C-alpha cells in the first residue's frame, strides 16, 4: 500500500473544527482543505477568506448585458427603419427596458459561470478525503503533506477533538 497523501479529521463540532484549523495554521501548514455541510462565518474567519472574485464576473456580465441590450435594439431598429407611432427610430426610453432585462440576464448567467470557474465545478471524480458525512452533520479537515507532517496533523486533529482521524 502506498503512503497516504493526506489525513482527514472528521469533526462533529464547529469549535473543534476551528481549533484544528488554528492548530494547523500555528504549525505553518498551508496545504489543507475544509469541508462543511453549511457555510459558517467562523470557518470563513479562521480561514481568512478573501472576498470572492465572482464580483468581477458580475460587473463584467452586467455591463456587457447593458451594452448588448442597447446595441441589439438600436442595430435592429436601424436595420429595418420603420417609423411606428410617430416615434424616433432610436427611441431611448423603450430601449431602457430591453437594456435593463439583458443587464440582469447576462449579469446573472455570467456570475453563475464565474462561480463555476472559480469553485472548480463541475468536479468530476473523487475529492481526496471527502466523506459523505460532510454533507450531513460533520465537518472535515484534510491536511496534505509528507509523512512527518501527516503524523503531526493526526495528533493535532485528535487533540482538537476529532471524532475520527483517517488516512487518504
Partner 1 sequence: MATLATPIAATPVHDQALPTYAETTRDVIATLQPPGRKYYVGLGFVLLGLAFGAFGWGWQLRYGLGVTGYQPPIFWGTYIACFVFWVGIAHSGTLISAILLLFRSTWRTAVYRCAEMMTVFAVMTAGLFPVLHLGRAWYAYWVFPYPNFRGVWSNFRSPLVWDVFAISTYLTVSATFLTMGLIPDFAAVRDRAIGWRKQLYSLLSFGWKGSDREWRHFGRMYLYLAGFATPLVLSVHSVVSWDFAMAIVPGWHATIFAPYFVAGAIFSGCAMVITILVPLRKAYHLERYIQVRHFENLAKVCLLTGLIVAYAYGVEFLMAWYSGNPFERASFYNRAFGDYWWATWIMLSCNVFVPQLLWFKKLRTNLSVLFVVSILINVGMWFERWVIIVTGLSHEYEPWQWTYYFFRWPEIAILVGSFCWFSMWFLLAIKFLPVVAISELKEALPPPLKAQARR
Please list every residue from 34 through 53 that binds partner 1, using CB under 8 A.
34-40, 42-44, 47, 49, 51-53
Interaction of residue 30 with partner 1, rule CB under 8 A: no
Interaction of residue 92 with partner 1, rule CB under 8 A: no
Q: Please, what is the minimum distance in Å from the beta carbon of residue 156 to partner 1? A: 14
Interaction of residue 166 with partner 1, rule CB under 8 A: no
Taking the C-alpha atoms of residue 160 and residue 138, their distance in angstroms, rounded to an integer, is 14
Taking the C-alpha atoms of residue 89 and residue 80, their distance in angstroms, rounded to an integer, is 9
Helix (H) or strand (E) holding 143: strand 139-144
Q: Which of 29, 34, 7 is nearest to 138 (CA)?
A: 34
Side-chain-side CA neighbours of residue 58 (13 Å): 5
Q: Please, what is the minimum distance in Å from the beta carbon of residue 67 to partner 1? A: 15
Interaction of residue 86 with partner 1, rule CB under 8 A: no
The residue range among 1-9, 94-102, 147-155 that interacts with partner 1, by the rule CB under 8 A, is: 94-102
Amino acid at each position: 500500500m502506498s503512503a497516504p497523501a493526506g489525513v482527514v479529521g472528521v469533526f462533529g463540532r464547529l469549535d473543534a473544527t476551528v481549533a484544528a484549523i488554528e492548530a494547523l495554521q500555528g504549525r505553518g501548514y498551508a496545504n489543507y482543505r475544509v469541508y462543511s455541510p453549511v457555510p459558517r462565518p467562523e470557518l470563513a474567519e479562521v480561514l481568512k477568506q478573501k472576498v470572492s472574485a465572482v464580483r468581477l464576473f458580475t460587473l463584467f456580465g452586467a455591463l456587457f448585458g447593458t451594452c448588448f441590450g442597447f446595441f441589439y435594439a438600436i442595430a435592429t431598429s436601424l436595420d429595418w427603419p420603420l417609423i411606428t407611432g410617430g416615434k424616433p427610430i432610436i427611441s431611448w426610453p423603450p430601449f431602457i427596458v430591453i437594456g435593463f432585462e439583458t443587464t440582469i440576464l447576462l449579469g446573472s448567467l455570467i456570475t453563475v459561470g464565474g462561480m463555476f470557474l472559480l469553485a472548480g465545478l463541475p468536479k468530476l471524480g473523487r475529492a481526496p478525503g471527502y466523506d459523505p458525512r460532510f454533507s450531513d452533520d460533520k465537518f472535515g479537515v484534510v491536511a496534505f503533506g509528507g509523512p512527518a507532517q501527516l503524523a503531526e496533523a493526526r495528533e493535532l486533529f485528535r487533540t482538537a477533538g476529532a471524532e475520527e482521524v483517517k488516512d487518504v
